[in-house]
Amino acid sequence: MLSAYAASKHALHGYFESLRSEMKNSGLRISIIIPGFVNTSILVRAFNGKGKVPGTNLSVNEEGMSAAACAEKIVKAIAHGKRKAFIGSAATVSFYMHRLMPSLLAKIISSHPLKRIRSLHSGLKIFFSSSIKKSH
């Protein structure tokens, strides 16, 4: 029930991609930061799908990285001139699923996204860590 929030994020991506093209020769560097779940109270004051402010947070946000850890990763990404930086594994998993398996991601999001994304993330983490160990 965060459609307006998602729409605003998409709008920012479009804006900054366009701005990057327009400012190409100006020396201005633009980093698009895509954070995953961060332990903030942003959703406590956000409108839900019914236009009400629920006054509660999601457990996935409370279990997310700290705002300080997120800020540190953002500063590091900008310092390294990253054009696009995924902060947190949920952001990375969601991005690549959207690119590689959009229908599967749509199905996951329409059912119960938070539990499924966490489950998928855990499975991928195990898969990739074992694949990396095997290749060395």
Q: Which residue has the higher pLDDT, 108 or 29?
A: 29
Q: What is the pLDDT of residue 17?
A: 92
Q: What is the mean pLDDT of residues 44-58?
A: 69
- Identify whether the C-beta of residue 84 lies closer than 8 Å to the C-beta of residue 31: yes
Identity of the highest mean pLDDT range in 26-40, 45-59, 65-79, 81-95: 65-79
Beta strands in 18-87 (DSSP E): 32-35, 38-39, 65-66, 84-87
* pTM for this predicted structure: 0.62
Q: What is the mean pLDDT of residues 5-12?
A: 84
Q: What is the mean pLDDT of residues 84-104?
A: 81
Residue 128: pLDDT band with limits 50, 70, 90: low
